[in-house]
Structure 1
Amino acid sequence: MLRRIVVKIGSSSLTSSEGALNRNAVAYFAAELAKLIQSGYQPLLVSSGAVAAGFREIGYPERPKLLHEKQAAAAVGQALLMQAYREELAKHGISGAQVLLTRADFQNRKRTGNASMAIEELLQRNVLPIINENDTVSLDELKFGDNDTLSALVANLIRADQLLILTDMPGLYTSDPRKDPAATRISHVPEITGEIYAIAGGAGSSVGTGGMRSKIDAAKIASIGGIPIFVGRIAQSGDLLAALLGNGQGTYFEAHGAAIPRKKQWLGFFSIPIGTLTIDAGAEEAMIHGGCSLLPVGVKAAQGHFHTGDVVEVVNLEGEVLGRGIVNYDTEQLLGILGLPSAEVVKKMEVVHRLEVIHRDEWISLKS
């Protein structure tokens, strides 16, 4: 079976210093993707650049900041972006197909399934899917972090073997190398910790929306799904294949999970939690390391107004997010049995359909 590789290219890698679409850059990336295909890989491309490609075309002097302006720029820029990709890919005998997605597509299980089947069909037909956020109709501020999060979600959706996030920075550094000449690159990250997030800092390029922090977020999502990640820069012929083979100019993040079933993908990454449960240390250990269900005795607090079958987030006593699960009680029911042993729960409730607050089959850990 062909190894599936998700390649994400950010706005800063695709645009000129003036902010327009850089056709030479598009040509370079198309040639690098062609090399992957010729080497026996099956790439999918997640590409930013629609807003950056379009805002100059419709007369904005600089990248717009208002949502409706970004949406207008994206409407023009997406067409320019796809035209450029298709023309450059055709020089290598490759056909490209546009796939536009929003967060709402991922939050709806049926729409997620439809998107997956469409992408699978394109791959079977030897067509390169070129995926971007549907900026023109998205509602909440161009939201996927320059498509970093989108690339990780797509990688999980299609069970990719690796995710390559390409940017204008050659990986994660101990500090900002543009300001600190003593900064050194971190070539390998075995685990994403609070220290790694602190190093990642904040903003990135002026033409993109995703700084290094959003790339760390994406790496964590992919890692949970068992997908190793590369974050870095490519510039010369053959660099993309080198990055895939472990010799890239960037940072490699280890994977910690295994391939996630479709239902748990939706639960962990696409669902919207309705409430929050706080659990004690014993329940945390049992759920995270013991593979156990959550029982009422381990629940210390419940926030939100949820019903049986809703998705809730689970946090520990320090407020750290541990995961998500489908709850088997309404808020009012659960508040009446918090901390009670199972025998007491049975006595107190007239009808107990399921004793577990969250069954282990309806749970996904988000703790790396």
Structure 2
Amino acid sequence: MSERIVVKIGSSSLTSDEGGLNRENIHFFASELASRHQLGENIMLVTSGAVAAGFRRIGYPSKPKAVHEKQAAAAVGQALLMQTYQEAFSQYGIVAAQILLTRADFSNRRRIQNALMTIEELLKQRIIPIINENDTVATDELMLKFGDNDNLSALVAAMTKVNMLVIITDMDGLYTEDPRKNPLAVKIERVDQISEDILKLAGGSGSSVGTGGMRSKIEAARIAMRGGVRAYIGKVQYDGDLSRAIEGTGRGTYFDTKLNSLPMKKQWLGFHSTPQGRIIVDDGAVNALLIGGKSLLPAGITDSSGDFHPGDVVEVFNSQGETLGRGVVNYAAWQLKAAAGLSTDEVSRRIEVTRIEVIHRDEWITLK
């Protein structure tokens, strides 16, 4: 099977400071992607840039902030973006296809399965899928959750079981501090586990050393790694830079993983599903879930909240409020309230349930 690569390119790399597309840059990236495509690799491109490409054409003096204005700009800009990509790839005899997704698509197992089948067919036909968020229907809250499409690229990479995710940025990797402010900052060449310290380096709440946009890229790398996909964050600026990034000599930071690719069901459960409730468990249940690989039983539950039903997804937390994972619950919310802390024999006598396990181990994924 040919190697599969997801490449994510952000708005700043595709558009000019004044708004509108930077056609020279798009043609450069198309050339880099085409060189890997011609080697027989299956290339998928996750792109941003629709809003930035379209707002000038509408007549807005600057990039809009209101949701309906963003959506209008995206409606115009997405067409311009795809037209430019089609023109750029056609020079190499490559056909490109547009796929627009939202967070809601990933939450629905049937919809995301249909998207996956479409991508598989496009790759089979040697077509490059160009994937973007469907900004014209996504709410602003959902748009922010995708993090300038960084998380979208990681979700696509995990879903399609790629060999590598390449996130192109204007920084040549992750540093101990912002190198634009401190010339003594040291670049971190490789990461094999994304700890809280790594996230703090990338910026976000409580940190003053982060570089713009790096936090969402690190979070995307974590999603990819959890799905068994290694990631790269760095620059692709000169001819051959993409090949160097893929082959291990790029000017960025590599995120390695020893985890195997997750089955589609587990990916949906861990990254795409929408939890309908929360379950708090005691230390014994924590050990059973995280170390023993066992199912969650009523005896280990100390509290629960939410209006869930059998078959819904719930999140599980320890007593300190830390997320342990997600699972498909076999109890309704009222049943779990009645069963919490009871032995299996006692639950069997008091409550009529299809399965005694609150969450079976086959319907569970650890996120800690």
Tell me, which stretches of 5 or more residues in structure 1 are unaligned?
Answer: 204-209
Partner SS state of residue 57, structure 2: coil
Cα distance, 1:286 vs. partner?
A: 1.8
Cα distance, 1:180 vs. partner?
A: 2.1
Query: For residue 221 of structure 1, what is the aligned residue in structure 2?
Result: 223
Query: For residue 296 of structure 1, what is the aligned residue in structure 2?
Result: 298
- For the aligned residue pairs, the C-alpha RMSD in angstroms reads 1.5
TM score, norm. by length of structure 1 = 0.94
Say whether 1:16 aligns with 2:16. Answer: yes
Query: For residue 328 of structure 2, what is the aligned residue in structure 1?
Result: 326
Cα distance, 1:254 vs. partner?
A: 1.8
Judging changes above 3 Å, is the alpha-carbon distance between structure 1 residues 110 and 352 closer, same or farther for their aligned structure 2 residues?
Answer: closer
Q: Deviations over 1:200-221 (max 9, x none)?
A: 1139xxxxxx811111221111
Partner SS state of residue 326, structure 2: strand
* Aligned mates of 1:37, 1:266 — CA distance in 2: 28
Cα distance, 1:238 vs. partner?
A: 0.6
Query: For residue 63 of structure 2, what is the aligned residue in structure 1?
Result: 63
8 Å Cα contact 2:236-2:242 kept in structure 1? yes
* Aligned mates of 1:247, 1:129 — CA distance in 2: 26
Partner SS state of residue 356, structure 2: coil
Q: Deviations over 1:61-102 (max 9, x none)?
A: 221111111111111111111111111111111111111111
Q: How does 1:130-279 map to 2 (within 5 A)?
A: 130-141=130-141, 142-143=143-144, 144-202=146-204, 211-279=213-281
Cα distance, 1:165 vs. partner?
A: 0.8
Query: For residue 358 of structure 2, what is the aligned residue in structure 1?
Result: 357
Q: Which runs of 4+ in 1 moved over 4 A?
A: none
Partner SS state of residue 57, structure 1: helix
* Aligned mates of 2:104, 2:176 — CA distance in 1: 36
2:111 maps to amino acid: R
1:18 maps to amino acid: E
Cα distance, 1:290 vs. partner?
A: 2.1
Query: For residue 207 of structure 1, what is the aligned residue in structure 2?
Result: none
8 Å Cα contact 1:225-1:255 kept in structure 2? no
* Aligned mates of 2:40, 2:291 — CA distance in 1: 38
* Aligned mates of 2:326, 2:227 — CA distance in 1: 15
TM score, norm. by length of structure 2 = 0.94
* Aligned mates of 1:237, 1:91 — CA distance in 2: 17
* Aligned mates of 1:316, 1:50 — CA distance in 2: 42
8 Å Cα contact 1:5-1:164 kept in structure 2? yes
* Aligned mates of 1:361, 1:233 — CA distance in 2: 40
* Aligned mates of 1:159, 1:79 — CA distance in 2: 29
Query: For residue 83 of structure 1, what is the aligned residue in structure 2?
Result: 83
Partner SS state of residue 339, structure 2: coil
Partner SS state of residue 55, structure 1: helix
* Aligned mates of 2:229, 2:172 — CA distance in 1: 20
* Aligned mates of 2:287, 2:260 — CA distance in 1: 20
Q: Deviations over 1:19-76 (max 9, x none)?
A: 3211111011000001111223111000001111111222222211111111111111
2:147 maps to amino acid: G
Tell me which of 308, 315, 319 is aligned to 1:313.
315
Say whether 1:112 aligns with 2:112. Answer: yes
8 Å Cα contact 1:10-1:147 kept in structure 2? yes
* Aligned mates of 1:9, 1:338 — CA distance in 2: 48
* Aligned mates of 2:78, 2:184 — CA distance in 1: 39
1:10 maps to amino acid: G
Q: Deviations over 1:219-248 (max 9, x none)?
A: 111111100011111101111011011111
Cα distance, 1:353 vs. partner?
A: 2.3
Partner SS state of residue 56, structure 2: coil
Cα distance, 1:327 vs. partner?
A: 0.6
Cα distance, 1:256 vs. partner?
A: 4.4
**Identical-pair percentage:** 59
Tell me, which stretches of 5 or more residues in structure 2 are unaligned?
Answer: 206-211
* Aligned mates of 1:17, 1:140 — CA distance in 2: 22
Partner SS state of residue 301, structure 1: strand
1:335 maps to amino acid: K
* Aligned mates of 1:355, 1:202 — CA distance in 2: 42
Partner SS state of residue 362, structure 2: helix
Query: For residue 26 of structure 2, what is the aligned residue in structure 1?
Result: 26
* Aligned mates of 1:332, 1:256 — CA distance in 2: 40
Query: For residue 94 of structure 1, what is the aligned residue in structure 2?
Result: 94
Cα distance, 1:163 vs. partner?
A: 0.6
Q: Deviations over 1:83-127 (max 9, x none)?
A: 111111111111111111111211111111111111111111111
* Aligned mates of 1:304, 1:26 — CA distance in 2: 47
Moved more, 273-282 or 23-32: 273-282
1:211 maps to amino acid: G
8 Å Cα contact 1:161-1:227 kept in structure 2? yes
Query: For residue 36 of structure 1, what is the aligned residue in structure 2?
Result: 36
Judging changes above 3 Å, is the alpha-carbon distance between structure 1 residues 13 and 202 closer, same or farther for their aligned structure 2 residues?
Answer: farther
8 Å Cα contact 1:202-1:212 kept in structure 2? no
